[in-house]
Structure 1
Amino acid sequence: MENEKKIVGRCPKCGGNVVKTCKGFRCENSIGDNPSCNLNINGILGNRKMSDDEITELLTNRRIMLDGFMSKEGKAFPTVLELTDNGEVLMQSVIGKCPNCGGDIRVGNRAFNCSNFTNQTSKCEFSIWRNIGGHQLTLTEAQEICEKGITSAELEMYRDDGSVYRKRLGLSPDKLQIVKI
């Protein structure tokens, strides 16, 4: 039991096991005298401790949207972590293009917002709330709305009385609002 390693996923570079270490997560092939891989993911990213499950999801899906990162000024922000083929972890706030004006859609604390919201010459007020009908939108669902105009599957939502219903989310004809379809 003493030398047991906690495996959290597969290495995107060499296919080896990624294990939890005292400073984060490493490919087991990067440990020892003759390392054949150099994957090393810090356990703290953006002043936020990463959980084993979050690293497993990042290794599996290569992209994960998370809240609770902290700037040097102490301001909390959400972001998308992206794991590149060479093992780098990038922070990306852009999730896609605005279906209304073509600007960048960025992940925000409560919504996915068009970057042209503050642009005085071509202001765009397009946004997708992150919680619609009690359903927390995933990164994939928000990207589907931006790219295809509709979610691929029905989503479970809740009425005020607590009853459950299922609808797809899509763009209104004017591409300014999200509607339940």
Structure 2
Amino acid sequence: METEKKIIGRCPLCGGNVVKTCKGYRCEHNIGEQPTCVLNINGIIGNRKMNDDEIAGLLANRSILLDGFVTKEGKSFPTVLELADDGAVNMQSVIGKCPHCGGDIRVGSRAFNCSNYANQAAPCSFAIWRNIGGHQLTLAEAKEICGKQITSAELEMYREDGSIYRKRLGLSPDKLQIVKI
């Protein structure tokens, strides 16, 4: 009698099905006596329980921005989980380079911030708010602003009265502020 398995997504390493297990998520080709794949993702990462949709997003995109990770000291932080070619899941706080000064852009709980913010010699105040006009910025959109200086698509935003409008987000001429275009 065949037992039922919950399939979460496709393995980006070998193309097999990734199934939910008692300890997390594993490629079907990493089960049994002769495993041919190394993909095995823990169900708890950074003191945070992962859910099926988050793992499906990680499998599909190889990276996902998530909040709610917790240090050993109990401090909450956001991070980007990245799925490496060897199957490892790495926490990555840097998402790109600052378009203003060239420093690292790091994930913060409310914004993507330049790492040179507290640099005494050359402080940089560049930040991309994670919520602009009621739109929750995605990791891809923040990376586009840092790399291409504008989002490729118009984003849905909201006015105070609740009406919807669409704008692209880009950099101001001094590359210090995000503007709606």
Alignment correspondent of 1:14: 14
Gap regions ≥5 residues in structure 2: none
**Root mean square deviation of aligned Cα:** 1.1
Q: CA deviation at 1:89?
A: 0.4
Alignment correspondent of 1:152: 152
Which ranges of 4 or more aligned residues in structure 1 deviate by more than 4 Å?
none
Q: CA deviation at 1:2?
A: 7.4
User: Which segment drifts farther, 113-122 or 28-37?
Assistant: 28-37
User: Which segment drifts farther, 33-42 or 84-93?
Assistant: 33-42
Q: What secondary structure does 1:53 align onto?
A: helix
Query: Could you tell me how far apart the structure 2 residues matched to 1:3 and 1:154 are?
Result: 46
**Which amino acid is 2:99 matched to?**
P
Query: Could you tell me how far apart the structure 2 residues matched to 1:106 and 1:67 are?
Result: 13
Q: What secondary structure does 1:79 align onto?
A: strand
Q: Tell me the number of residue pairs that the alignment of Structure 1 and Structure 2 aligns.
A: 181
Does the Cα contact within 8 Å between 2:6 and 2:20 map onto a contact in 1?
A: yes
Percent of aligned pairs with the same amino acid: 78
Q: CA deviation at 1:34?
A: 1.7
Query: Could you tell me how far apart the structure 2 residues matched to 1:169 and 1:77 are?
Result: 25
Alignment correspondent of 1:73: 73
Query: Could you tell me how far apart the structure 1 residues matched to 2:180 and 2:158 are?
Result: 12
- The alignment status of 1:28 with 2:28, answered yes or no, reads yes
Superposed CA deviations along residues 93-150 of structure 1, whole A, max 9, x for unmatched, are: 0000000000000010000000000110010000000000000000000011000111
Q: What secondary structure does 1:106 align onto?
A: strand
Q: What secondary structure does 2:90 align onto?
A: strand
Q: CA deviation at 1:38?
A: 2.1
TM-score (norm 1): 0.98
Does the Cα contact within 8 Å between 2:38 and 2:86 map onto a contact in 1?
A: no
Alignment correspondent of 2:130: 130
Does the Cα contact within 8 Å between 2:83 and 2:89 map onto a contact in 1?
A: yes
Query: Could you tell me how far apart the structure 1 residues matched to 2:107 and 2:4 are?
Result: 38
Query: Could you tell me how far apart the structure 1 residues matched to 2:139 and 2:65 are?
Result: 6
Query: Could you tell me how far apart the structure 2 residues matched to 1:21 and 1:139 are?
Result: 28
TM-score (norm 2): 0.98
